[in-house]
Every structure is written in C-alpha cells, then in structure tokens.
C-alpha cells in the first residue's frame, strides 16, 4: 500500500506557495476547482474550493483554498503530518526565516519538533536516517 496524497485546508494561494513550494520545495502538479455541489456531496460543505496539487516523486499534498464565504482552516489540535527531512536544523532555520512557528519539546533523550504553518496545520519534523531511510524515534 502507498499513500497517494494528503489534503489540507489553507487560507490562501500565497500561504500554500510559501509553505509547499518555498519551504518544502514541491512543484505544482495541477490546479482544479471543486464545485459547491460536489463539495456538499463529498465533504458536507456547500462551498466551492480551489485545489492545488503540490508534489515530487515521493510526496503529494492537495491544498484546498476556500472561496469567499466558505469555511476556512480549522485544524484539530492533534492532527499533524510527520515529515522526514535531511539536515533538520537547517530546514528548521528556513522555516523560522519564513516566519513559521517552530515548537521543540524534550522527550527523554531526544527533542520532538513541530512546525506550525500559516494556517495552523502542524508538521512533526524528523531527521531522515541515513541507515534505514526511516526516522530513529517516534512521537
């Protein structure tokens, strides 16, 4: 089984561009519109959304952008994505330079790190292990 994509709600195309393109380095694969009638059938939200699919060979994310008057970002307090990056500290420096909130917490011998995007979505950031390709710890 493979993960096809993750979908998140963001408040603007600009926020999506800053986070997914500038920070994560993802390319725009396609853009589309989810009409209000389809949104109502699938998500029980009677509003139109623009959708930008960002991705690379390993990861894809759909950024749902509400049209005027549509429900906006409302992330849950525990919901998050976990990203494995190479050079975590440099990556976190870039995130901070973009104005993103970086949260660090001590957990035993290690530090757990989360980044909050412009719309309140949370991302756990782990250093990609060079031995197995998997992170060394779990939340």
Q: Which pLDDT belongs to residue 137?
A: 52
Q: Which pLDDT belongs to residue 87?
A: 94
> And the tokens for 128?
């990609």
- Report how far residue 5's alpha carbon sits from residue 59's, in angstroms, rounded to the nearest whole number: 7
Reported residue count of the chain is 139
Residues of the chain with CATH 3.10.180.10: 6-66, 80-127
- Report how far residue 18's alpha carbon sits from residue 24's, in angstroms, rounded to the nearest whole number: 9
Q: Which pLDDT belongs to residue 40?
A: 83
- Report how far residue 45's alpha carbon sits from residue 39's, in angstroms, rounded to the nearest whole number: 6
CATH of 80-127, one of 3.10.50.40, 3.40.50.170, 3.10.180.10, 3.30.70.20: 3.10.180.10
CB 27, CB 55: distance < 8 Å: yes
CATH of 6-66, one of 3.10.180.10, 3.40.50.300, 3.30.450.40, 3.30.160.150: 3.10.180.10
- Report how far residue 110's alpha carbon sits from residue 105's, in angstroms, rounded to the nearest whole number: 9
Q: Which pLDDT belongs to residue 79?
A: 77
Give backbone dihedrals phi and psi of 23, rounded to 5 degrees, phi first.
-85, -50
Residues in the chain predicted with pLDDT less than 70, given as ranges, are: 1, 71-78, 131-139
């Amino acid at each position: 089984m493979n993960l096809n994509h993750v979908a998140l709600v963001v408040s603007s195309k600009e926020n999506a561009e800053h986070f997914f393109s500038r920070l994560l380095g993802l390319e725009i694969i396609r853009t589309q519109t989810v009409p209000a009638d389809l949104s109502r059938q699938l998500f029980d939200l009677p509003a139109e959304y623009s959708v930008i699919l960002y991705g690379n060979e390993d990861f894809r994310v759909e950024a749902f952008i509400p049209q005027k008057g549509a429900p906006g970002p409302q992330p849950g307090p525990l919901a998050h994505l976990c990203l494995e990056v190479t050079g975590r500290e440099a990556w976190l420096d870039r995130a901070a330079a973009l104005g993103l909130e970086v949260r660090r917490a001590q957990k035993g011998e290690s530090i757990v790190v989360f980044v909050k995007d412009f719309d309140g979505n949370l991302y756990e950031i782990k250093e990609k292990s060079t031995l197995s390709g998997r992170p060394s710890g779990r939340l």
